[in-house]
């Protein structure tokens, strides 16, 4: 057995264990950390497939940006995990059915790919990590899927902001919309006042003394 094969099995085993801990951990922060571990193992598998660019993007984007944002959201909102797990087992049949369908679909695709005996697959796999080939595929063949993924990420960002947005009464709140709609008469008021004449106290004191 080659050393790369051993590394593949090690990375795969750790990734499967981390994925199981993501869905079984009671603490959401621990689940997020196990998801980070799973992403690192997936990046290692990409490196074994000579897809260095995809491995680096996976670590930088998901681990360095998405997971950090997820951890901030989890820590900022007060999640009652016990209340969320009250009806957890009621959704088990539906979750098992959906998971089984996904596994069967992935198995059918992989079985078909390995069973065709296409000799050009290793050559294509060697260039999968190139930025030029990846850019051509993303912006030509998979342009609509790429745009849908961008919209999904935008919705996720908006949802994260909406979850963490709280109006507190003990701090000064500033509404940008009201600041844009403000007029001059709303901020400035001209008041006419009579002139104030100061008395000359130094000249009045000697007369009083006399």
The tens-digit pLDDT sequence of the chain (210 residues) is 788 888 888 888 988 998 898 888 877 778 888 888 888 888 888 888 888 788 888 888 887 777 777 777 776 766 666 666 666 677 677 778 877 777 776 677 667 555 555 444 444 445 555 677 778 888 888 889 889 989 998 998 888 788 777 666 666 767 777 778 888 777 777 788 887 777 666 655 555 555
Cα-based distances in Å from 157 to 41, 164, 207: 25, 11, 80
Whether residues 162 and 137 fall in one domain: yes
Whether residues 75 and 104 fall in one domain: no
The answer to whether residue 189 is domain-embedded is no
Whether residues 137 and 57 fall in one domain: no
Whether residues 142 and 66 fall in one domain: no
Whether residues 73 and 112 fall in one domain: no
Rounded distance, CA 74 to CA 84, Å?
Answer: 14
The pLDDT value recorded for residue 207 is 55
The answer to whether the CB of 28 falls within 8 A of the CB of 81 is yes
Whether residues 79 and 94 fall in one domain: no
Tens of pLDDT, residue by residue over 37-63, are 888 888 888 888 888 788 888 888 887
Whether residues 32 and 45 fall in one domain: yes
The answer to whether residue 182 is domain-embedded is no
The pLDDT value recorded for residue 154 is 92
Whether residues 96 and 75 fall in one domain: no
Question: What is the extent of the structural domain holding 159?
Answer: 130-167
Whether residues 82 and 9 fall in one domain: yes
Q: Is the pTM of this model over 0.75?
A: no
The answer to whether residue 187 is domain-embedded is no
The answer to whether residue 200 is domain-embedded is no
Q: Can you give the CATH number for the domain in which 81 is found?
A: 1.20.120.1200
The pLDDT value recorded for residue 151 is 93
Task: Give 73's Cβ-side CA count (13 Å radius).
Answer: 17
The pLDDT value recorded for residue 50 is 80
The answer to whether the CB of 81 falls within 8 A of the CB of 27 is yes
The answer to whether residue 106 is domain-embedded is yes
Whether residues 6 and 30 fall in one domain: yes
The answer to whether residue 116 is domain-embedded is yes
- Convert 164-176 to b/e letters by CB count within 10 Å (16 or more is b): eeeeeeeeeeeee
Tokens of 95: 């979750």
Whether residues 95 and 81 fall in one domain: no
Whether residues 4 and 68 fall in one domain: yes
**Domain count along the chain:** 3
The answer to whether residue 94 is domain-embedded is yes
The answer to whether residue 199 is domain-embedded is no
The answer to whether the CB of 35 falls within 8 A of the CB of 62 is no
Tokens of 56: 């680096």
The pLDDT value recorded for residue 155 is 92
């Amino acid at each position: 057995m080659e050393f790369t094969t051993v590394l593949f099995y090690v990375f795969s085993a750790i990734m499967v264990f981390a994925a199981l801990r993501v869905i079984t951990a009671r603490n959401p922060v621990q689940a997020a950390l196990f998801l980070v571990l799973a992403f690192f193992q997936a990046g290692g598998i990409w490196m074994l497939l000579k897809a260095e660019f995809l491995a680096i993007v996976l670590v930088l984007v998901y681990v360095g940006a998405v997971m950090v944002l997820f951890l901030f959201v989890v820590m900022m909102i007060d999640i009652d995990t016990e209340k969320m797990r009250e009806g957890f087992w009621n959704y088990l049949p539906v979750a098992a059915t959906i998971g089984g369908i996904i596994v069967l679909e992935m198995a059918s695709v992989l079985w078909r790919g390995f069973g065709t005996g296409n000799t050009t697959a290793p050559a294509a796999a060697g260039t999968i990590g190139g930025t030029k080939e990846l850019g051509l595929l993303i912006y030509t063949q998979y342009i609509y899927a790429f745009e849908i993924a961008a919209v999904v990420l935008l919705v996720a960002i908006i949802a994260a902001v909406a979850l963490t947005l709280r109006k507190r009464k003990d701090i000064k709140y500033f509404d940008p919309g009201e600041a844009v709609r403000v007029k001059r008469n709303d901020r400035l008021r001209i008041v006419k006042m009579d002139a104030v004449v100061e008395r000359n106290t130094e000249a009045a004191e000697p007369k009083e003394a006399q």
